[in-house]
Amino acid sequence: MKKIIVVVLLVTVAGIAGIVRSRAKTSGGVRNWSQVADGDKSSAEVREEVRKSYELASGARVEVAGINGGVKIETSDGKTAGVYVERIGSSQEVLARRKVIIDASADSLTVRAEDSDSGFFARVFGSKPSERVTLRLPRAISLLARGINGSVVAGEIDGKVEVKGVNGKVDIAQASGSDSFKGINGNIAVGLKQIDNGGVALSGINGNIELRLDSAINADLEAHGMNGSVVSNLPNVSIDKRKHGKYSAQIGSGGNSITASGINGNVRLSGA
């Protein structure tokens, strides 16, 4: 009698497992957690576009933050700022999980993305939309880009540039003043027109760094904690390697500071 009961239980369990497997299958294979959380919607992309324009005063502060995708910034001599955001998701439900907020005044412009309120399974297992941000800005601004899951590419900027927490390459055609680059998982290329008293600081960089220096720049570079080298092909640059992972360099007659620390890559000094 006991053997019969055991056999019946095994058959029942096998039948239930077969039903679960058959229901879990989709036309492309077994469902994953994101499919469950997303409601098994069609894989076709859903897009949403945002276009805005504003007038900015000279020296305005521009911030781009929390973007799940690349950021491209074009600059000109005008005063008008154009904002274009493209959001992409697998469904309207997925798009609703994040929102892009734009705040603007004459002295500042902020474009940031953040998660919306959603259920537990959607937050933990569901997919999230991506954003592509394109800005057309006056050249006479200061820029802060932070928390970007993608590349940051910008044209010439006459003010201070601060970039931190970027998972992608950073390419700034021109920066002026005191600039900071921190926590970058990718290569960096920056054109430096001038360096103010605050200097230029680079730290926590997992990639190579190229500093394109204006011919009129005079500065002192100090680098430590480097898994790489400091190199230059400029005639007015002298480099001293003190010990492993530590370098100093004089650019021109020396002057305001360029500091580099925690660099997993090489630092190259080149012409603008």
Give the model confidence (pLDDT) of 63-74 as tens digits: 999 999 999 999
Give the residue numbers spanning the domain of 68: 46-214+267-271
Confidence grade of residue 29 (pLDDT, cut at 50, 70, 90): very low
* Mean pLDDT computed over 46-73: 97
Chain centroid to Cα 60, Å, comes to: 22
Q: How many domains does the chain have?
A: 1
Q: Is residue 258 part of a domain?
A: no
The verdict on residue 105 lying in a domain is yes
268 with 211: CB under 8 angstroms?
A: yes
Task: Look at residue 6 and tell me if it is in a domain.
Answer: no
* Per-residue pLDDT tens over the stretch 174-203: 998 889 999 999 999 999 999 999 999 999
Evaluate the CA torsion angle 264, 265, 271, 272 in order and state its sign.
negative
Rounded to an integer, what distance in angstroms lies between the CA atom of residue 197 and that of residue 178? 7
Q: What is the pTM of this model?
A: 0.81
Residue 155 placed within a domain: yes
Give the long-range contacts of residues 179-185, CB within 8 A, separation 24 or more: 181/205
Torsion sign, CA atoms 33, 34, 36, 42:
negative
Assign 119 a pLDDT band (cuts: 50, 70, 90): low
Tens-place pLDDT, residues 212-262: 999 999 999 999 999 999 999 999 999 998 777 899 999 999 999 999 999
Residue 190 within any structural domain of the chain: yes
* Residue 75 host element (H or E): strand 71-76
Residue 128 has what pLDDT?
84
CA distances for 34 relative to 90, 150, 186, angstroms: 11, 22, 28
Q: How far apart are CA 70 and CA 6, in angstroms?
A: 59
Tell me whether residue 66 is in a domain: yes
pLDDT score recorded for residue 76: 96
Residue 219: inside a domain, yes or no? Answer: no
d(CA 226, CA 190): 19
| Domain assignment present for 189 | yes
